[in-house]
Amino acid sequence: MIKIGNIDFSYGNVPCLEKISLNLEEGKIYGLLGENGVGKTTLLTLLCGLKKVQSGSIDVDGFSPYDREPDFLASQFYLPDEVSPVNAKAESFAVNSGQFWPGFSIDKFNEIMKVFEMDTEQKMNAMSAGQLKKTWISFALACSTKYLFLDEPTNGLDIPSKAQFRKAIMSFTREDSTIVISTHQVKDLENIIDPIIILDKRDVLLNASVQEITEKFYFDYGTTLNPASLYTEQLPGGFIQVYPNAAGEESKINIEALFNTVHKNKETVKAIFSHE
Amino acid sequence: MEFDSNRPIYLQIADVICNRILQGELKAEDRIPSVREYGAEIGVNPNTVARTYETLTDKGVIYNKRGIGFFVTEKAAQNIRKEAKEKFLKEDLPNFANKARLLDIDKEEIIRLLF
């Protein structure tokens, strides 16, 4: 369990995260959404101990990430958006670096690479950006860590790799893992991420499961406008609109529409989801 | 797996399983994949599949053998048909009748077309 308590972080005198509190539970795949520059990557780098919180605390099973204790580091993996083109063949890179993670398995690495239709004998610095990303994703998953932080993992992946990624993320992670995926590519991951966190400048606008969201909001794909709509977007052949689910009916979540609804109605949404 | 836009995904997955049972592809006492296996297969969060299984369990279509997994019940096909029939009579048929009235199609014509 990760407990983020009232943390602050700024770059020089530019505040980035202010008084952010969040709990991240076991066995869940969190989708971390937010506009450019709200601090998604910063939050991930704080969680994995690359950066230090300026006030407040982060508690990961009793560890404070920035202490960088070996047992803590061995229990987590952070995959940045941009990954380095190591001067080595994929398999030998994995064998060498995998030693730092007790859960790492080279067989698993090779198996995931196969899912991505990748050649493990290829040199990483001779790979395309997408191939390199797939190699790193394979490595991250093969480490079988309790905590996995993925920053824009589907960026640069070609069309077939996106489905392969979805498959891999569920076949090769531990059942008790906490996975946090930051992304703008909501269509790629729409059916994968649950709960959903929406981060805003200095605020967490939403941290709720898909079930909770669809209990509170109704996603209407019809042709008649509802006066209670919090958000409406014209689609070919109708609308997508989001309004409070007064009738208690079930609908299919649309994360893009959810994001825009939350952004247009910050205070309303916070009130709807407040647990107090 | 491709999903329709306006029905919750967990229910769409339930429909797929029910159809496979009705078509005889899945039979009574057949084991169905675990929540994680099935999620990985169709690219959906295991929580969503867990909700599907919960719903199907409530409807008497599958049951959970502790520690072993989920299995199709003896009366699965019967229960699915019963529910589908209720839905047909309560929703589909009135819609159909409404449309027929709207288009001025008379009873005789419909009977002739149906049988």
A38: CB partners within 8 A, 6+ apart: A199, A200, A201
Which of B33, B70, B64, B25 has its CA nearest to residue A171?
A: B33
CA distance, residue A162 to nearest chain B CA (Å): 10
Q: What span, in angstroms and rounded, lies between the C-alpha atoms of A71 and A171?
A: 25
ipTM score of complex: 0.82
| CA B33 centroid distance within chain | 17
What is residue A45's predicted lDDT score, i.e. its pLDDT? 97
**Nearest residue in chain A measured CA to CA from B34:** A171
CA distance, residue A252 to nearest chain B CA (Å): 4
A99: CB partners within 8 A, 6+ apart: none
Q: Let me know whether A75 and A159 are in one domain.
A: yes
Name the phi and psi angles at B40, rounded to 5: -65, -40
Chain B interface residues (partner A, CB cutoff 8 A): 3-9, 11, 36, 39-41, 43-48, 51
Of A155, A190, A207, the position where a domain reaches its end is: A207
Q: Let me know whether A188 and A75 are in one domain.
A: yes
**∠ CA B79-B85-B87, rounded to 5°:** 105
What is residue A207's predicted lDDT score, i.e. its pLDDT? 94
**∠ CA A262-A266-A269, rounded to 5°:** 70
Mean pLDDT for back-to-back runs of 10 residues, chain A (276 residues): 95 92 95 94 96 96 95 96 95 97 97 96 96 97 97 93 93 93 92 94 90 94 89 87 92 94 92 77
**Nearest residue in chain B measured CA to CA from A169:** B40
Q: At A238, list the tokens.
A: 């109708």
Please report residues of B whose CB lies closer than 8 A to that of A167: 40-41, 43
Q: Let me know whether A175 and A264 are in one domain.
A: no
Q: Let me know whether A111 and A231 are in one domain.
A: no
Q: Do B40 and A167 touch (CB under 8 A)?
A: yes
Asked if A25 and A178 count as a contact pair (C-beta separation under 8 A), the reply is yes
CA distance, residue A197 to nearest chain B CA (Å): 16
Q: Let me know whether A109 and A188 are in one domain.
A: yes
B90: exposed, middle or buried (Cβ count in 10 Å: 0-12, 13-18, 19+): exposed
Structural domains counted in chain A: 2
**Nearest residue in chain A measured CA to CA from B8:** A252
Q: What span, in angstroms and rounded, lies between the C-alpha atoms of A107 and A87?
A: 21
Query: Which structural domain, as residue segments, surrounds residue A44?
Result: 2-207
Q: What span, in angstroms and rounded, lies between the C-alpha atoms of A60 and A218?
A: 35
Which of B37, B11, B36 has its CA nearest to residue A210?
A: B11
Q: Kindly report the CATH number assigned to the domain that includes residue A158.
A: 3.40.50.300
Dihedral angle, C-alpha B35, B22, B60, B65, nearest 10 °: -40
Give, as one character, the DSSP assignment of residue A196.
E
HSE value, Cβ hemisphere, 13 Å, CA-based, for A200 = 15
What is residue B1's predicted lDDT score, i.e. its pLDDT? 65
Please report residues of B whose CB lies closer than 8 A to that of A159: none
| CA A46 centroid distance within chain | 14
What is residue A275's predicted lDDT score, i.e. its pLDDT? 66
Of A207, A224, A239, the position where a domain reaches its end is: A207
What is residue B114's predicted lDDT score, i.e. its pLDDT? 82
Which of A24, A19, A20 has its CA nearest to residue A178?
A: A24
Please report residues of A whose CB lies closer than 8 A to that of B7: 251-252
Interfacial A residues in 187-226 facing B (CB < 8 Å): 191-194, 209-211, 214, 219, 221
Q: Let me know whether A13 and A41 are in one domain.
A: yes
Please report residues of B whose CB lies closer than 8 A to that of A191: 3, 9, 43-45, 48
Q: Do B43 and A210 touch (CB under 8 A)?
A: no
Q: Which residues of chain B have pLDDT under 70?
A: 1-2, 4
Q: Which residues lie across from A242 on neighbouring strands?
A: A219, A231
Q: At A49, list the tokens.
A: 């101990």
Q: Do B7 and A163 touch (CB under 8 A)?
A: no
**Nearest residue in chain B measured CA to CA from A162:** B43
Q: At B73, list the tokens.
A: 């019940």
Which of B38, B43, B50, B36 has its CA nearest to residue A176?
A: B36
Q: Let me know whether A115 and A128 are in one domain.
A: yes
Identify the three-state secondary structure at position B39.
Answer: helix
Q: Let me know whether A79 and A137 are in one domain.
A: yes
Q: Let me know whether A12 and A116 are in one domain.
A: yes
- Please list the alpha-helical segments (H only) found in chain A: 40-47, 70-73, 90-98, 106-115, 129-142, 159-171, 186-189, 210-216, 255-264, 266-273
Q: Let me know whether A89 and A222 are in one domain.
A: no
